[in-house]
Amino acid sequence: MMLEDILRQVQTGELSVEEAKERLKPFDRLGFANVDLHRPKRQGFPEVVFGEGKTADQIIAIVRTLKEHHDRVLVTRVTQDKAAAVRALFPELVYHDAARLLYWKKEQAKTKETDAYIAVICAGTSDLGVAEEAAITAEMFDCEVRRFYDVGVAGIHRLFHHIEAIRAATVSIVVAGMEGALPSVVSGLVSHPVIAVPTSVGYGAHFQGLSALLTMLNSCAPGISVVNIDNGFGGGYSAALIHRLACQKG
Amino acid sequence: MMLEDILRQVQTGELSVEEAKERLKPFDRLGFANVDLHRPKRQGFPEVVFGEGKTADQIIAIVRTLKEHHDRVLVTRVTQDKAAAVRALFPELVYHDAARLLYWKKEQAKTKETDAYIAVICAGTSDLGVAEEAAITAEMFDCEVRRFYDVGVAGIHRLFHHIEAIRAATVSIVVAGMEGALPSVVSGLVSHPVIAVPTSVGYGAHFQGLSALLTMLNSCAPGISVVNIDNGFGGGYSAALIHRLACQKG
Amino acid sequence: MMLEDILRQVQTGELSVEEAKERLKPFDRLGFANVDLHRPKRQGFPEVVFGEGKTADQIIAIVRTLKEHHDRVLVTRVTQDKAAAVRALFPELVYHDAARLLYWKKEQAKTKETDAYIAVICAGTSDLGVAEEAAITAEMFDCEVRRFYDVGVAGIHRLFHHIEAIRAATVSIVVAGMEGALPSVVSGLVSHPVIAVPTSVGYGAHFQGLSALLTMLNSCAPGISVVNIDNGFGGGYSAALIHRLACQKG
Amino acid sequence: MMLEDILRQVQTGELSVEEAKERLKPFDRLGFANVDLHRPKRQGFPEVVFGEGKTADQIIAIVRTLKEHHDRVLVTRVTQDKAAAVRALFPELVYHDAARLLYWKKEQAKTKETDAYIAVICAGTSDLGVAEEAAITAEMFDCEVRRFYDVGVAGIHRLFHHIEAIRAATVSIVVAGMEGALPSVVSGLVSHPVIAVPTSVGYGAHFQGLSALLTMLNSCAPGISVVNIDNGFGGGYSAALIHRLACQKG
Amino acid sequence: MMLEDILRQVQTGELSVEEAKERLKPFDRLGFANVDLHRPKRQGFPEVVFGEGKTADQIIAIVRTLKEHHDRVLVTRVTQDKAAAVRALFPELVYHDAARLLYWKKEQAKTKETDAYIAVICAGTSDLGVAEEAAITAEMFDCEVRRFYDVGVAGIHRLFHHIEAIRAATVSIVVAGMEGALPSVVSGLVSHPVIAVPTSVGYGAHFQGLSALLTMLNSCAPGISVVNIDNGFGGGYSAALIHRLACQKG
Amino acid sequence: MMLEDILRQVQTGELSVEEAKERLKPFDRLGFANVDLHRPKRQGFPEVVFGEGKTADQIIAIVRTLKEHHDRVLVTRVTQDKAAAVRALFPELVYHDAARLLYWKKEQAKTKETDAYIAVICAGTSDLGVAEEAAITAEMFDCEVRRFYDVGVAGIHRLFHHIEAIRAATVSIVVAGMEGALPSVVSGLVSHPVIAVPTSVGYGAHFQGLSALLTMLNSCAPGISVVNIDNGFGGGYSAALIHRLACQKG
Amino acid sequence: MMLEDILRQVQTGELSVEEAKERLKPFDRLGFANVDLHRPKRQGFPEVVFGEGKTADQIIAIVRTLKEHHDRVLVTRVTQDKAAAVRALFPELVYHDAARLLYWKKEQAKTKETDAYIAVICAGTSDLGVAEEAAITAEMFDCEVRRFYDVGVAGIHRLFHHIEAIRAATVSIVVAGMEGALPSVVSGLVSHPVIAVPTSVGYGAHFQGLSALLTMLNSCAPGISVVNIDNGFGGGYSAALIHRLACQKG
Amino acid sequence: MMLEDILRQVQTGELSVEEAKERLKPFDRLGFANVDLHRPKRQGFPEVVFGEGKTADQIIAIVRTLKEHHDRVLVTRVTQDKAAAVRALFPELVYHDAARLLYWKKEQAKTKETDAYIAVICAGTSDLGVAEEAAITAEMFDCEVRRFYDVGVAGIHRLFHHIEAIRAATVSIVVAGMEGALPSVVSGLVSHPVIAVPTSVGYGAHFQGLSALLTMLNSCAPGISVVNIDNGFGGGYSAALIHRLACQKG
């Protein structure tokens, strides 16, 4: 019931002033008349819980509540121990230990509407955890994902093996540690947006990912935007938002 | 006219639904029913303009508008050239070149309500500009200010000359460059809040004020809080808010 | 003519081995058979020239060449002096001095295909140059842009005035200096991707934009990705790529 | 007995020169005639012990002494183990493990003199430990405290639920990790002083709280001053000093 | 078989178009006709595995594969535990715990072709691990190495004891922590290239090797180039490449 | 007149209580009975003025006053322009433009009491300004100084030419930019204290002297202590204090 | 005359003890018997003068002296003004303004001994100055140099055009600003040593070249060593030393 | 036997040329004729071993050797475990666990030659370990030391209690963590050299001692020089060198 309706009912006497005031309480107290300050719920978007710094008990309590009202749950940065404790009660949750993700999606008759997919690209084993965090996050948002985990700037021919499949994606998530140069090279070869995710993999003057972060921010190839170090979740989330834009209209 | 009044007039037919909607537009569009999201205007607080990056013409236009509706104006970080251009049109504005402030207050029969004052403390000539920026800012907020500009940790006896007068203040603004140790020493000797303002005065490993800033944040004397490097205005503003709290009740 | 055709003509004698080798030279030397390592030209994308560090003469030479083969030209980071020198020869180029952009687009019967637009958001006058750099860049890519330049976290009600129009955009570019908090607040209120552009506006512990950059990278609101400090062009470019994705399918 | 009295007694012979010298020893040795270099003891302020780096035995010894002469004791940064060891001997001490505080206050017929309170504001579970450190510290100083722990910039409507109660406070302590933008938003909505406390909660380019610290120092909303990263105690102490100013006069 | 041969056989009918396409697949898919994008395999260069972040099982699997096809294997940054697990299955591998290297070379009738050698220089026990990492790496590349581990700038006479032997080397690897001044001094005394390897040995303002790294980058003695902090492997590898250049022509 | 005398005269009536109080005012107000909080004036130490940020007029005023009461004056960090303005009125002042010092010492029949001297050591022309600032400062304190300006780590033989003369000094001031390794080498060859002065000479990863500063702080040769970047005055002052200790007893 | 000869002549009386002592003075004073602490003069190596911070007059004086005794002279970091002043007297010197080099080589009948060359690689106009500084430096050392200035990671196909010519070099100098990723890509494609030279070209989070420097130090492609930011001279010098090694034996 | 003697004996035939060459070997090989490049052994200076990174066995071996030839031994940065292992074999060694020093001095009839002493000053318990490291180091060098461990800038009166005793010292070692302001205050009150030792005690923006280090380098009180963070040994060593200068002449 919108403001106009309420006013009209007050006019006609259907509503007393007190009742109208009660109904307008959101106006009164918060001013949320037509403007919903809440971020609109997006269909198919999971409730996401930041697991770091929460105890297993706290996570269990949150998961229990979420599962009652939602069709999927995603908990990030969960250690193996906590995951085990949660899964003892909710064995239907899946745990990916490299990605440190704990997640669950209600089975559903998924009708594939589109061939579009997100490309998740990284150089190899060391960055795999963050890449999986990005990939699974995007999948939890019902995005199709293709993984390209065997490429890296020091052996650039491996990237070219897959370049056509990568080009066909709607958006690329490029995960890289060490010198972090991969997003620049990829972005020079594709024509879609690139989300760059620096990782803390490296040592010495790598400064826990600072070097890779700076490389990506300073890329001479435009079309790259960057998320925080090791923030696979953020990369997956941003890519999913972009991917949806591309699909919604299709 | 509050929400209840409007509703009642709708009920009685004094207001049409359309008129009511018009009046409730802030509810409608912004939801500012009882909750004013604006920072409440505080009596006697000037309109403050950040002068850096604005042209003389832009400042003149803003000053013209402000003077029409307000009894005082404060423009910060104004260069000598711009100040001259503004004062050519508004000679009643005062310019303090060390503080880089341009300001004006309508003359008023000021009735001194209280003996309370803010202490502004610094070591000497180099930090004087920032100290004056803090002091004048506080004065523009109708606070009484006492300046103690001849003290410094390398000759600590000078601080003791004034310690009783400093102690009697409601709040101290301590401005320091170089090693920035003065707030620690002052805070150890007084029992009121200390606002520390680091300055960029120094060289080499001073890193444009970073050293003084870190010193103040790490003070072992509690009761100190810190504003940005060279932010005399911010120091004066925070102190004025505190000073008002002390005076309002008096 | 693709590889298969060439081979077939060699088989049939239509092509000599030498002629075939000549035609396969890209295979031979570069291996660009089917795999075009060039970034595919995107229709309607301007040739972009990084103007910083180039002399007026160099820019003139490049512009002359580009104008012969392209329907639009964009030169970034051009000073007023250089722009004047270029425009003396090419008066059809437009110069935006706050954005430091010099640009030209061949007039065309633009048929508006879509109502979709990019939102460019910033707090005010100081960040306006970078915001315009982003907005004009996107416009040069044939994107519709709406500007929201009167908002900022310290007076959050101004943001709410426009929140519905902002929400309706495909993607937001949020430009902010000082503490750089605006992208976090915006991202919490919209459901599309947010490109955050930190600016070097600030002083003291702002460290030429580092503070705003870190704020944006650390945002607790997901869906934000970040470009380099003052990189309005990069923000506009990334947003244009995303916007196209949304429109292509429409 | 003041200097004048001593001199007069010397004049009259009541005191010998030697006796006078003995009494004037503080003059002689330290020069603390009228100027007490000690920070004046503030009634109701606890003795505060920095627990980090002290052994359980050292803390026990200090607590034993303090309890003999004072009506309250506050030990900061105490680990669970040390707290258990101290409480084995002094079970009347309370330990708050998230805040890492160990404290005791003699029961007293507290007469509530004022309705004034300090607002302690944070985004949620991760910053709760530092927020509690600030809140309990202020309470140990006999300040009334109200906690607002369910707010954060990424879901700004939650802040507006409480904005009136927050506005009514004398001073706000705003605790925030991640991007640290909350103090800017709060300060734009209230008219009292804001003490900002950055926390080390975050990862990657957060650099153990540096990002949040810089955000707060660079806030475009005036009226904010900042304490060290994770320094809940310092925030609570500064706020208590300000709160007292407001109450003393009431 | 080169492109020309293939074309000629197509012309003569020896190859069908389909067969030719198959053989030209690298052209087709990757364009690697004459241009091998792979880094050319260098005879006698071991397969190198970055051991950090890999489990013992992963290392075992890789070593098993490598040993089947290669005559030497080098695994860097292996902990003692993982080394033991690998050596339980492959006892022929050697583990150097200070250098954290695990390696194996097939015995061969080595014919010494040259007297040339690489000098590996460090100050003493603390930097020894990184120095050995460099030295063994170079040896795995069939380079002759001489170690000078008893020198340091604080007792410069020790360097002079060996200066003639050092001068006779083709290239020097100089490993240093603390202030990192050794490469400057060495480079001033020799006429061959110097590879400087900073180590993280130090404390306080050493910042985990940053100080030594900066020292080496800023050396006033030309002829020095630098690798990452603690990157003994990189130093050894670069030196081996240089050493080979010197030997190949001999 | 000391405290005891005053008391005795009060006792005898020579002084009234009021007169005594007046004389004891320093006790009363500052507590400077026997404890002089002033840094004791050291014979032969000049009044030092920090010239940076002071106008020529301010320097003239200070110099005029100082010359009336003192036998020497030292102004640091004076630009050529300001020096010229001051010397127009006080032509007896000497200006050293590389050292940016302006100074004057009353002629005196100097009786050389000792052969002891301070060694001031630097690599060459670039660091000469700071070295001279240190040397002249020490000379203004009546110290004998010997300059060794032709040495540097990249050509270490030049240092050995002078090593005996350097060893014979009481204290060495070693000034170095670039990698800043010279103090380590010198300190390894002498047995007296070394004051290291980093300079901002360098580029790139030198970070305006930070690299040289860190090198010196991390020296593995003990006996080195460090002053701020480019702080020739501080180095000269510290060395003069040490030199005096060595001479006073002689 | 070596030590043994001297001793023998003393034995035979051909030399008196005094004469022998005189001749052994280098032993006596400096200990330069057989150990020449001087860096050995390398044939064909120019005298190099660091021009920054030297006046035109100082450079003229040095050049005059050098030209008398040497067959080539190289002055680095010379501004246009100073170069003009020097060339007014020595018109035979060549000035390269992008490289900021002033140099001269006596004409000589150069007999080309080898086809070997150094590859100097950079992305384009912005890094050209530093690349030329490296190239000319190497040429001054009589090295053959080939320039590849049209390559960059954002358009990687341009690199492949030249990859065979680059591979044939003895050593590559790779100059890059912005994200500095080029050396990683090049090093993955060649089998010779790579000297990486970061440049200060970039803005924002580039931090005057720090970003490019870190990228290069963290390269996952081994065989790269790095010199200081903008240090084209150092890169050219190191490469020349390596190149000579390769040629000497040829 | 000096050079002249050797030559004379060759002349007289007492020495054969071969014997002379043998004796002149140091000339021959190292050139250490009259110039001893070794740092001269200073009577009463202990052999110092840097214990960090050495195993207990390595320390035992070194201690065994040192004890045979020296009258004192000092091992720095020794953990409790290692100390216990060493003391099991050498129970005469003393271990100070806060200072992490392990040391031994042969008993000797010490004749006190002087009343002079070094002042070691710190604020309290947290900095005590580093202060003791400095104090014991100086004592191992036979210096008299007085400890002032109850002072700190937040309660400056405690410093004044001891100011006369501090002033009477030859040199002060001032140890401080947190904001590190103590050396500035002390240096303003004394007239002897001050060695400042920053400690890593602190948290948040203290950055492991960086804040205290910067404070001390930027002190506005001249006469302070600084050693590395937590480098109590270095502070004690430098002070001992200065103290000896003062005493030697006495």
**The 3-state secondary structure of B62-131, one letter per residue:** HHHHHHHHCCEEEEECCCHHHHHHHHHHCCCCEEECCCCEEEEECCCCCCCCCCCCEEEEECCHHHHHHH
pLDDT tens digits along C4-29:
777 888 888 888 888 877 666 544 33
Average pLDDT along chain B: 85
**Among candidates A31, A52, A229 on the partner chain, residue whose Cβ is nearest the Cβ of D205:** A229
What average pLDDT does range C101-106 have in this prediction? 93
D96 touches chain F (CB under 8 A): no
Q: Which two tokens stand for residue A120?
A: 């998740």
Rounding to the nearest 10 degrees, give the CA dihedral for residues B57, B60, B61, B66: 160
pLDDT, tens digit, 9 for 90 and up, residues C235-248: 999 999 999 999 87
What is the reported pLDDT for H110? 61
pLDDT at E89: 96
Q: Is D212 on the interface with C (CB under 8 A)?
A: yes
The arrangement of strands across the sheet holding H94-96 comes to H47-50, H72-76, H101-105, H94-96
> Would you give the DSSP letter of residue G29?
I
- Interfacial C residues in 2-31 facing E (CB < 8 Å): 3-4, 7-8, 10-11, 13, 16-17, 20-21, 24, 26-31
Which helix (H) or strand (E) is G176 found in, with range?
Answer: strand G171-176
pLDDT in tens, D196-238: 999 998 989 998 899 999 999 999 888 999 999 999 999 999 9
Cβ neighbours of G28 in H, within 8 Å? 3, 33-34
pLDDT band at C111 (very low <50, low <70, confident <90, very high): low
Report DSSP letters for F144-194, one per residue: -EEEE-S--GGGTHHHHHTHHHHHTSSEEEEEE-TT--HHHHHHTT-SS-E
Instruction: Give the nearest chain D residue to A210 (CA atoms).
Output: D205
Q: What local confidence, expressed as pLDDT, does residue E35 receive?
A: 41
With touching defined as 3 or more inter-chain CB pairs under 8 Å, the answer for chains A and C is: yes
Predicted pLDDT at C41 = 54
Which of A245, A247, A248 would best serve as a mutation to test chain C binding (most C beta carbons within 10 A)?
A245
What average pLDDT score do residues D166-176 get? 96
Give yes or no for residue G48 having a pLDDT over 80: yes
| More confident: A7 or G146 | G146
pLDDT value of position D103: 95
CB contact under 8 A, D123 and C221: no
Tell me which chain A residues have a C-beta less than 8 angstroms from the C-beta of D155. Answer: 38-39
pLDDT band at residue F29 under the 50/70/90 scheme: very low
Spell out which residues of chain C touch residue A164, defining contact as CB-CB under 8 Å. 35
Residue in chain B closest to H224 (alpha carbons) equals B154
Give partners of F (≥3 CB pairs < 8 A): B, D, E, G, H
* Residue F200 to chain B, least CA–CA distance (Å): 8
Q: Please list every residue in chain D whose beta carbon sits closer than 8 Å to the beta carbon of residue F10.
A: 7, 10-11
Number of residues written out for chain G = 250
Worst-scoring range by mean pLDDT, D98-107, E197-206, F101-110? F101-110
Query: What is the radius of gyration, based on Cα positions, of chain H?
Result: 22
CB–CB contact H229 E205 (8 Å): yes
CA–CA gap between residue F133 and residue F124 (Å, rounded): 14
* List of chain D residues whose C-beta atoms are within 8 Å of the C-beta of residue H161: 29-30
Q: Which two tokens stand for residue E130?
A: 């990184």
Q: What pLDDT, in 10s, does the model give residues B175-186?
A: 999 989 999 999
Beta carbons of D246 and B247 less than 8 Å apart: no
Instruction: Give the distance from residue D84's alpha carbon to the nearest chain A alpha carbon, in angstroms.
Output: 21
pLDDT of residue G22: 67
Lowest mean pLDDT, pick from D234-238, E9-13, E232-236, H37-41: H37-41
**Cβ <8 Å between H201 and D38:** no
Average pLDDT over residues E227-243: 96
Chain G contact for E160 (CB, 8 A cutoff):
yes
The pLDDT assigned to D29 comes to 35
pLDDT value, residue C2: 59
Q: Average pLDDT for residues A127-140, to the nearest whole number?
A: 95
Distance from CA of C148 to the nearest CA of D (A): 18
Contact: C212, D204; criterion CB under 8 Å: no
Instruction: Report CB contact under 8 Å: A17, B24.
Output: no
> A146: distance to nearest CA of chain G, Å?
23
Residue G184 scores a pLDDT above 60: yes
Q: Pick the residue from chain G with its C-alpha nearest to E164.
A: G35
CA distance D210 to D231: 13
Could you give the percent of chain B with pLDDT greater than 70?
86
The answer to whether the CB atoms of C155 and B38 lie below 8 A apart is yes
Which of E1, E10, E18, E32 to mutate against chain C (most C CBs within 10 Å)?
E10
pLDDT at F197: 97
Q: Taking CA atoms, what residue in G is nearest to H12? A: G11
In the predicted model, what is the mean pLDDT of residues D33-56? Answer: 66
- Per-residue pLDDT at G250 exceeds 60: no
| pLDDT tens per residue across span A36-50 | 454 455 556 777 888
| Per-residue model confidence as pLDDT tens digits over C41-90 | 555 677 788 888 888 998 999 899 888 888 889 999 999 999 999 999 99
Of A30, A37, A231, the CB nearest to D204: A231
- The chains in contact with chain D, meaning 3 or more Cβ pairs closer than 8 Å, are A, B, C, F, H
Instruction: State the pLDDT at residue A2.
Output: 59
Q: How many angstroms away from the CA of H120 is the closest CA of chain F?
A: 16
What percentage of chain H carries pLDDT values higher than 90? 54
Residue F26, pLDDT > 50, answer no
pLDDT digits (tens, 9 = 90+) for A95-111: 999 999 999 998 776 65
CA distance B107 to chain F (A): 34
Amino acid letter for position H180: G
pLDDT for H28? 38
3-state secondary structure of H241: helix
Q: Is E228 on the interface with F (CB under 8 A)?
A: no
Are C53 and G126 within 8 A, CB to CB? yes
pLDDT digits (tens, 9 = 90+) for C208-239: 899 999 999 999 888 999 999 999 999 999 99
What's the pLDDT score for residue E193?
96
pLDDT at F90: 96
pLDDT at position H196 is 97
What's the Cα-to-Cα distance from F101 to each of D173, F77, F78, F84, rounded to whole Å? 49, 6, 6, 12
**Lowest-confidence pick of C94-108, D25-39, E178-192, H67-81:** D25-39
What's the average model confidence in pLDDT over A116-138?
Answer: 93
pLDDT of residue G14: 85
Neighbours of G97 (CB within 10 A): 13
Closest-CA residue of A relative to E208 is: A204
CB distance from B37 to chain D under 8 Å? yes
Q: Give the model's confidence band at F133: pLDDT under 50 very low, under 70 low, under 90 confident, else very high.
A: very high
- Chain B: closest CA distance from residue D208 (Å): 15
pLDDT in tens, E35-56: 445 455 555 677 788 888 888 9
What angle (nearest 5°) sits at the alpha carbon of residue C110, between those of residues C109 and C115?
155
Dump pLDDT digits (tens) for B191-239. 999 999 999 988 899 988 999 999 999 998 889 999 999 999 999 999 9
A241 to C223: CB separation less than 8 angstroms, yes or no: yes
Q: Do residues B226 and B196 touch, judged by C-beta distance below 8 A?
A: yes
Q: What is the mean pLDDT of chain H?
A: 85
pLDDT of residue D2: 59
- Comparing A59 with E38, the larger pLDDT belongs to A59
Residues with Cβ < 8 Å from D173, sequence gap 6 or more? D118, D119, D120, D121, D131, D134, D135, D138, D194, D195, D197, D235, D236, D239
pLDDT greater than 70 at residue A34:
no
CA-closest candidate to residue B121, choices B102, B96, B138, B103: B138
Listed range (B113-122, C164-173, H129-138) with the worst mean pLDDT: B113-122
Q: Judging by beta carbons within 10 Å of its beta carbon (0-12, 13-18, 19+), is residue D92 exposed, middle or buried?
A: exposed
Q: What is the pLDDT of residues H87-134, one digit of tens each?
A: 999 999 999 999 999 999 987 766 566 789 999 999 877 899 999 999
Max mean pLDDT range (A22-31, F5-14, H152-161, H235-244)? H235-244
Give helix H210-217 / helix B210-217 axis angle, nearest 10°: 120
pLDDT higher than threshold 90 for residue B21: no
| CB nearest to G204's CB, from C29, C32, C229 | C229
Q: Is H50 on the interface with G (CB under 8 A)?
A: no
Of C171, C191, C249, the CB nearest to A250: C249
Chains E and B touch (3+ CB pairs under 8 A): no
pLDDT at residue G176 greater than cutoff 90 = yes
Residue type, C10: V
Main-chain dihedrals φ then ψ at residue G145, nearest 5 degrees = -130, 135
Token readout for G189 is: 């494609």
Catalogue all structural domains in chain F, each as residue range(s) with its CATH number.
Answer: 26-105 (no CATH), 118-249 (3.40.50.1970)
Separation in Å, CA of D109 to nearest CA in chain B: 25
pLDDT in tens, G234-246: 999 999 999 999 9
DSSP string, chain B: --HHHHHHHHHHTSS-HHHHHHHTHIIIII--SS---SPPPPTTPPEEEE-TT--HHHHHHHHHHHHHH-SEEEEES--HHHHHHHHHH-TTSEEETTTTEEEEE------------EEEEESSGGGHHHHHHHHHHHHHTT--EEEE-S--GGGTHHHHHTHHHHHTSSEEEEEE-TT--HHHHHHTT-SS-EEEEE-----GGGGGGHHHHHHHHT-SSSSEEE--TT-HHHHHHHHHHHHHHHHHT-
How many Cα atoms within 13 Å fall on the side-chain side of residue H127?
36
Mean pLDDT, range F82-87, rounded to an integer = 97
Please state, rounded to an integer, the average pLDDT across all residues of chain D: 85
pLDDT band for G120, please (50, 70, 90 cuts).
Answer: very high
A157 interaction partners in chain E (CB closer than 8 Å): 30, 32, 37-38
User: What is the model's pTM?
Assistant: 0.85
Share of chain E above pLDDT 90, in %: 54
Residue B142, CA atoms < 13 Å, CB-side half-sphere = 19
Percent of chain C having pLDDT more than 70? Answer: 86
Q: What is the mean pLDDT of residues E54-70?
A: 89
Residue H155 sits at the chain D interface (C-beta within 8 Å):
yes
- Give the CA angle between residues F205, F209, F212 to the nearest 5°: 85
